[in-house]
Amino acid sequence: MIRFWNRRLKSSILTENPELDEKIQTIRKNIKSEVKKKFAGSLAIRMVDSGSCNACEAECNALSNPYYDLERLGIYFVASPRHADIMLLSGLMTFNMAPHVLDAYRQIPNPKWVVILGDCPMMQAPFEKTFAIETTAKSEIPIAHHIPGCPPSPKEIIEGLLEFLQKI
């Protein structure tokens, strides 16, 4: 135990410091002010996976870690579409998931927006149209913004969210 604490006290901070990344700091500042201006300081996101490989979701999970810390900017992921302002949709629109995506969309109170995440919803991903994929997201629901990438990095996702917030 003593050896552990000796080593721990002698080592410097091992994680990256977001305060040193000026671009991230600027994005965070702008997101916070847009959320305050347009959503009274609290933006709720319902994430829906309509048939992804889960890499987009894994990158999204990183937004809740202490480095990106979206909650400190007033952005929350919620479990119910009824509590959401926007839907963040990832993956291809699979045959089985399409009715559930539409159902979740219907349950989001107005005004509502859909932001699509990654190349899959645009049918630009490595997957092709198959018997399991009948339609594209944009032919079923109005899309307000697209965050491209396969998968987009957490930094690209928060940049995309800022672009969306500045556009509405």
> Interface with ligand SF4 includes 53 (CB under 6 A)?
yes
Single-letter amino acid code for the residue at 154? P
> Long-range contacts made by residues 20-23, C-beta under 8 angstroms, separation at least 24?
23/155
For ligand SF4, the closer CB: 125 or 144: 125
Q: Which of 32, 33, 55, 123 binds ligand SF4 (CB under 6 A)?
A: 55
For ligand SF4, the closer CB: 44 or 56: 56
> Interface with ligand SF4 includes 90 (CB under 6 A)?
yes
For residue 73, the minimal CB distance to ligand SF4 (Å) is 23
What whole-number distance in Å separates Cα of residue 93 and Cα of residue 120? 8
Q: Which of 24, 31, 52, 74 binds ligand SF4 (CB under 6 A)?
A: 52
Q: Could you please report the per-residue DSSP string of 37-89? A: HHHTT-EEEEEEESS--SHHHHHHHGGGSTTT-GGGGTEEE-S-GGG-SEEEE
> Which residues in the 91-130 window bind ligand SF4 by CB under 6 A?
91, 118-120, 125-126
> Interface with ligand SF4 includes 154 (CB under 6 A)?
no
For ligand SF4, the closer CB: 25 or 124: 124
**Contact present, 70 and 111 (Cβ < 8 Å):** no
Name 133's bridge partners: 94
For residue 24, the minimal CB distance to ligand SF4 (Å) is 22
For ligand SF4, the closer CB: 74 or 152: 152
What whole-number distance in Å separates Cα of residue 168 and Cα of residue 153? 23
Q: Which residues bind ligand SF4 (CB under 6 A)?
A: 52-53, 55-56, 90-91, 118-120, 125-126, 150-151
